[in-house]
Chain A
Amino acid sequence: MSYRTVLVLIGICVFIAVISLVRKARLQEKHAIWWIFIALAVLVCSFFPSIIDCIGRYLGIHYPPIFLLVIAACLILIKLLSLNISISDNEVKIKELAQRLAIMEKKLTDIKKDEDTSLK
């Protein structure tokens, strides 16, 4: 199997997986954009491998498929970093919410206590 066929298969698999995840509401559209872009880029590269060859030669890379690997590694790193940023952000938000919830619960208990005392 040539690397073109492998690329076509990867592109189609990613595309189908993303579409099905969005349809099942397991992946939000805003996150799906990135993966659809990746799937399309892989498909374009598999149908027009000369693009990779051209850019690779322009950058002085003797074995152009290496360029593809470098780009893939960079994209993975960017995605991982953005995921960690989003996790950190969510952790802070969850903590803030939980702290506010705890204070609200305390206020509610105090109000109930005051009501009970005034009823007595």
Chain B
Amino acid sequence: MHPLVVIPVFNEENTIESLINELLALGFKDILIIDDASEDSSIEIAKKLKVETISLPFNMGTWSAIRVGFKYALDKDYDQVITIDADGQHIPNDIPKLLNGLRKGFDIVIGACPQRANMAKKVCWWLFRKFSGLKINDFTSGFRAYSKSAFSKFSTYNGANLEYQDVGVLIMAKKFGLKIGEVPVEMKSRTWGKSKVFPSLKSILRYFLITFTIIMVKGR
């Protein structure tokens, strides 16, 4: 069975079409767009391209959108789920590398590109590594592959309490006994718009405090 490619979307009308076309050209026919209450025409574009879409009733954040994809994958009996950002930073050509990681026995494979991080991000990741005990090079990459045992565990009520698809998810994965691996991938720089996770200094600070609390409370 083909993997299900889950794309959480929030106002990505400028990049969504080319991403879907690229995926279709590479033979990834099972694409699920999770519309996280976009205010632009992202969802209409996706529907026009005849891919599966699910619209959330209100904006819930990337991780919640991804969990909907996990639940859908469970329902449709998929074995693998790929998550890829809709902003065009991830390169669909690298998906086989992630799937190869799953074949090697990993439950979560992260498409890692640590060289894209600026100094502040590098310091954050170093702190996260130090305190969480996770040996991960790229904590925030949303370009990931999940095995069935991984996404079925995250679909349960336990996975609902998180906001971001990064450290908290990986700490939970470690607790579940899932094997986490990384493969190096290239990432393009953002061509359009601002980061949805870190649009401002306030949101960066909020993210850092939440993540650090998760590490202190649940890590190690």
Contact = CB atoms under 8 A, between A and B. Distances in A.
Contacts of B160: 92, 95-96
A17 to B, nearest CB: 33
A76 interface: no
B210 to A, nearest CB: 13
Interface string A65-93: 00000000000000000000000100010
A102 B55 contact: yes
B57 interface: yes
Q: How large is the interface on B (under 10, 10 to 19, 20 to 34, 35 or more residues)?
A: 10 to 19
Interface stretch (B65-73, B125-133, B142-150): B65-73
B51 interface: no
Interface string A94-116: 01101111110110000000000
B55 A99 contact: no
Indicate the member of B52, B55, B160 with the most A CB atoms within 10 Å: B160
A102 B67 CA distance: 11
Interface in B29-68: 34, 52-58, 60, 64, 67-68
Contacts of B53: 106
Interface of B: 34, 52-58, 60, 64, 67-68, 71-72, 75, 157, 160-161
Query: Which 10 pairs show the lowest CB-CB distances between chains A and B?
Result: A106-B54, A92-B160, A99-B68, A102-B54, A102-B56, A98-B57, A96-B160, A95-B64, A92-B161, A95-B160
